[in-house]
Chain A
Amino acid sequence: MKQMIAATRRDPVLMGLWLSLLVFALIWFAPFVFIVFTSLKSSPEIMTSGAFTPPGALVTQNYATAWNRGGFDHAFFNSVFVTVIKVPLGLMIAALSAYALARMKNRWNKLVLLFIVFGTMIPFQVMLAPLFTLVNSLGLVDTYLGLILPYLAFGIPYQIFILHSFFKSVPKELSEAALIDGASHFTTFRRIFLPITLPVMAALLILDFVATWNEFAMALVILQDADKWTLPLGLMSFQGQFSNEYGQLNAAIVMTVLPAVLVYLIFQRYFVSGLTSGAVKG
């Protein structure tokens, strides 16, 4: 009886949506399956079997070979180093700036915010060449700092933009209560605003982690020395040198993508609630 009621109540629009979601998920998932399968096949098997045929005998050797040939020990360290410094540092700066712009009285706040948001509007391809000249003139080509500074400059504005609108939506009585309770601005930020911002911060952390981890163009311009290359650059060189070794190439891709997937899986619980935060009054 219960089932019958559920069956009659099923909404055709909702079912259509679920169906199209399923199709999209499959389309998105297909390349991943292809890459993982291929990375576990030997070269002859890749040539003879279909792309979506599961591997016959698992060839894990591809991973070891790819790691060594691609110089991944360097690249992995470089990527981790740059990301682990850039992402938390950028988020901290963005959160502090957004708080200041949203909650500290200053008649220039609107202008400063406009200026920062303006920074997100210039396509970064346009700035690549001038950026190189700038980094070069500072003597920072082939250094971590030379890469981290532009990453910060490009990442922070949109984070400020998002966090600013979030902080603005927090009832002002909350900061006033803290002010009366004797909290300084920094304490108010750390003890009151930061905890309620965690879902948004988690969302921004995931987005920024993936963006930084996969960043290619800027790293290509600034890092000339192969020892300083990040993973996407290592992957590129791989592709040129061993273009017929599809097994190793795909193994390299899996290794590059894996950390981003792990970070996403760890933070995705917050990510989803962060995307919807602010939609309803909490």
Chain B
Amino acid sequence: MTSIEGLIGLVVIGLAIAFMIVFSVQDRKSKIPLRRIPAMEHLSRMVGLAVEEGRRIHISFGRGNFLDSHAASTLTNTALLKEVLKQSAGSDRPPAITSGDGTTTLLAIDVLYSTRRAGIIGDRVDSRRGRLSGVTPLSYAAGMLPSLHQEQTSMMVTGGMLGAELNLILDTADDESIHILTASDSPVGQAVAFSSPGDVLLGEEIFALPAYMNAGSMYPASLLAEDSLRWLLIVFIILGAILRSIGLTIL
């Protein structure tokens, strides 16, 4: 990476940190209103309904791991899992988690155990609730399907890296009348999910999950920081296009 690109990268990082801190302070002073996303409203309602019915919530972490570009969605899923565990604390059936990577599986199990240690959930949680489903796209889907049939699942959140194989999961969820929210970070997965009757989050909406679950003031601040950076990016893209078309090249 050349020094000018490195410098631009550092400026973007610095700006993001500044935005996050400013918006976090603002959120603590007065709650920042988030835009209405129907899928998020359904999520909170369905978590409550699953607890009332005594049925299970399934969270799928997808196939991404911590060492690739899918790390961010894995982190989002972890924050979501913590919130779902808190909100479903009174449930007879604790949430089940599947993932397609060893590190993510261990992380999910660790979250289950640490939530139990913190006394948020009872002793019903065991390591079988967080498991590796399959490491290739189709084996992941095939490994997940039995848990939808057999585990009294009422709702499911599929996050992380999931491509066209998502359709197999969505089909089964539809057959089993499982309410599903898809938050895939893959454009292919998002396209597949869009055609399903369930809720779907598109683009960067997937990172908004913890903010809508009231996970803390830094999450809505992150969303606003993303929005601010996006507007800056739009301005620079348009500016760059205009300068290029009149024959000026800056970088």
Partners in one complex: no
Give chain A's interface residues, CB within 8 Å of chain B: none
